[in-house]
Structure 1
């Protein structure tokens, strides 16, 4: 048994997942250890305001570079990957400038349109968030491409220590929403800077956007070659981010910032398993499935196996919240957060299948199925709007709204896994 375990641990995929999960685990331990202090310092209202700000930037930041960074893993040559890096950074800068002009011209109109008075004073921080997010995406994908998972693990730990530690340190003297929002703004920038420093001093061949002598790469040709990312993936990411942020924005409008705070803390806690294991598996699985496709290997069994493993792992954490959510939240975060536990019960149903579908999501670019992903996300957004509308206008209940939101999300994510396996089977048959 011991020999079998040692043999398994030497496999590159398992070893890399372990490295990623270890870094994420230590980061999560810091977050979990400090969250009870942070929630008691700031309270639901401040958390709600931070949640609204996060819901706004979450819509914009994923498309900071029109999702071109996701393609960095795919090219066979480093020169083409570096061309994607340059293209991504140029696009990020242009989008940040564009967002700045939009805010200067239409700031008041946007505040009135979306009823976001609580975060009006923070909107001019958004261009900074866009810049930091674009840089972070580029560095993360380069490290995935070059399989430098240990750097990502180290930075995850250090970033969590700085980010959550600062919230506690400043919150002891100044426990207001402004602190949470400013720290959220700087978060990606701090992480990107740390990744860059560690990448520069790594043993891997020097990180540089310049190519070998005489090797020229046309950014126009690269943009055209990977145009399915801005054409399909960027709209999908934008719509998905909107559907993720929708509950916070609508809960704020319908029931006030406290309800948004309950949802935010519930979603954060239930996102921990995905951050700890799901994303670690996804980051390692992405280059592995891409390599398998390049070598003409069968993909369906890889996707199915990874999905089932995540399903087995997820039963305990998500099942525990479904059964004991209110008690757990009131015990860990304080009696004021009892309602967050009720929210979390329903969020956990949806989050479980989101956790399971990570291999499917990472495989869709490899299968050139990003058009399907866009359609799926559009259906998901429409379904969520309907679910929340029914909860508010018919039942006048935030709990019913969240319940419908969670159950509909679970059903649709099960369908996504099924469709991805179906597309993968068709792809495998063509390779035979």
Structure 2
């Protein structure tokens, strides 16, 4: 059969697949945002120094590490309740917990001023700036997580995509503007990034309000419901510590690079990670946002879920190969050409870090299935293993080579082991789940 006949049939088949269609919708918005960022990056890297970008990288690393414990990961549970009212209560529980956390964090920053500033490599910043900006960033990002999960619950993938594009366009535009106004400072980048997250939250809420549907309203009053806290207690007990460990593992190189090699090394690493995150953000996150509620709904309907997970993993494995090979072969030259000669070292880092990102890319379908399969405890233990191995890799690289590139290289290679474990164990658990479901159906005489 000729390709001219096969290809249109294949495209038509894809368009009829609801999951793939939703992934494409989410990806289109994320793609627009990432294209904007990609086009803006060569300008931004020529306006801002590695030290300024490194300062933003250090700040956002701390935000990412603290974010999973700010609301104890309850925003992720917004998708799960069958009742609309219970979902609203979960959202408000999340907001109230985050408010208490940010108040406590502000007090801690004021008590441990110099130690914290030195730890995150921001010696040029005032305590007052950190005390105001860090808790504010965490609170706003928690609000964004709540709004995003609410939109995902109602399958408002188009609205999510629109909000992401609006945020990216505004954020990158203002970065360039302030850089041209001779204000290429790390503090400026931090403030603009915080405002960008706030804008994305506001856009999400406004777009949902324009739908004029009662079930889309999300009244946020920070009320508290202890019953739902207990019902979804696996999130603070397992998912929150796991998220803390996972983000600590992803961002520990930033902390170590800042303390051992300086802000410039953080800047190189931050740019490298931003570029490598493009396929993860573009496709893998979209897959996660779409397939998570799909797997959950399939499980609620007592249908097998392993096929969804395996197919998603296989497709991501194929899609991720081309970017992986590109960065391994021509990483340094590519970064020098696109971002300027100053950023060649970021390309050297990309040759190693791309391997870690590839495995983090292809495990998205498996990670999405973890809440449905109730594997939060396994994910916590795996994250602990991940943190130990990755930190050990960085330590070995630093002590043997005393070089920032090779320290990141060893961190990356050691870090792929837990990713392989996640993929293997989740698929095994999904197949076990399906077999138990099949046995139950057969014993009761009903069809799967």
CA–CA separation in structure 2 for the residues paired with 1:296 and 1:223:
26
Match of 1:214?
none
- Please report how far the alpha carbon of residue 411 of structure 1 lies from its aligned counterpart in structure 2 after TM superposition: 2.5
Give the direction of change, closer, same or farther, for the CA distance of 1:119–1:376 in structure 2 (3 Å limit).
farther
Is it true that 1:84 corresponds to 2:115 in the alignment?
A: no
Please say if residues 119 and 255 of structure 2, whose CA atoms lie closer than 8 Å, have aligned partners that are also in contact: no
Please say if residues 88 and 138 of structure 1, whose CA atoms lie closer than 8 Å, have aligned partners that are also in contact: yes
2:406 to 366, 386, 400: 400
CA–CA separation in structure 2 for the residues paired with 1:302 and 1:368:
17
Match of 1:15?
21
2:130 to 116, 123, 131: 123
CA–CA separation in structure 1 for the residues paired with 2:105 and 2:79:
28
- Please report how far the alpha carbon of residue 108 of structure 1 lies from its aligned counterpart in structure 2 after TM superposition: 2.9
CA–CA separation in structure 2 for the residues paired with 1:137 and 1:316:
31
CA–CA separation in structure 2 for the residues paired with 1:210 and 1:196:
10
Match of 1:137?
145
Calculate the aligned-residue CA RMSD, in Å. 1.8
- The CA deviation string for residues 211-253 of structure 1, in whole angstroms up to 9 with x for no partner, is 9xxxxx9811111000000010000111111111110111111
Task: Give the TM-score normalised by structure 1.
Answer: 0.95
Give the direction of change, closer, same or farther, for the CA distance of 1:244–1:120 in structure 2 (3 Å limit).
farther
- Please report how far the alpha carbon of residue 104 of structure 1 lies from its aligned counterpart in structure 2 after TM superposition: 2.3
User: Secondary structure of 2:195's match?
Assistant: helix
Match of 2:187?
178
| Equivalent residues in 2 for 1:20-419, closer than 5 Å | 20-112=26-118, 116-121=122-127, 122-124=129-131, 125-173=133-181, 174-209=183-218, 219-419=225-425
- Please report how far the alpha carbon of residue 4 of structure 1 lies from its aligned counterpart in structure 2 after TM superposition: 4.6
Match of 2:434?
428
Please say if residues 248 and 260 of structure 1, whose CA atoms lie closer than 8 Å, have aligned partners that are also in contact: yes
Please say if residues 49 and 119 of structure 1, whose CA atoms lie closer than 8 Å, have aligned partners that are also in contact: no
CA–CA separation in structure 1 for the residues paired with 2:420 and 2:254:
24
How many aligned positions are there? 427
- Please report how far the alpha carbon of residue 7 of structure 1 lies from its aligned counterpart in structure 2 after TM superposition: 4.0
CA–CA separation in structure 2 for the residues paired with 1:396 and 1:49:
22
Give the direction of change, closer, same or farther, for the CA distance of 1:282–1:223 in structure 2 (3 Å limit).
same
Is the deviation greater in 84-93 or in 108-117? 108-117
- The CA deviation string for residues 15-38 of structure 1, in whole angstroms up to 9 with x for no partner, is 211110110111111000010000
CA–CA separation in structure 1 for the residues paired with 2:238 and 2:435:
25
User: Secondary structure of 2:304's match?
Assistant: coil
CA–CA separation in structure 2 for the residues paired with 1:340 and 1:114:
20
Give the direction of change, closer, same or farther, for the CA distance of 1:168–1:114 in structure 2 (3 Å limit).
closer
CA–CA separation in structure 2 for the residues paired with 1:271 and 1:417:
19
Please say if residues 55 and 122 of structure 2, whose CA atoms lie closer than 8 Å, have aligned partners that are also in contact: no
Task: Give the TM-score normalised by structure 2.
Answer: 0.92
- The CA deviation string for residues 35-61 of structure 1, in whole angstroms up to 9 with x for no partner, is 000000002111111111111111112
Give the direction of change, closer, same or farther, for the CA distance of 1:15–1:114 in structure 2 (3 Å limit).
closer
Give the direction of change, closer, same or farther, for the CA distance of 1:89–1:364 in structure 2 (3 Å limit).
same
- Please report how far the alpha carbon of residue 8 of structure 1 lies from its aligned counterpart in structure 2 after TM superposition: 2.5
CA–CA separation in structure 1 for the residues paired with 2:84 and 2:76:
14
CA–CA separation in structure 1 for the residues paired with 2:384 and 2:390:
10
- Please report how far the alpha carbon of residue 111 of structure 1 lies from its aligned counterpart in structure 2 after TM superposition: 3.2
Please say if residues 53 and 119 of structure 1, whose CA atoms lie closer than 8 Å, have aligned partners that are also in contact: no
CA–CA separation in structure 1 for the residues paired with 2:335 and 2:311:
33
Give the direction of change, closer, same or farther, for the CA distance of 1:126–1:315 in structure 2 (3 Å limit).
same
Extract unaligned runs of 5+ from structure 1: 212-216
Is the deviation greater in 344-353 or in 105-114? 105-114
Is the deviation greater in 96-105 or in 158-167? 96-105
User: Secondary structure of 1:275's match?
Assistant: helix
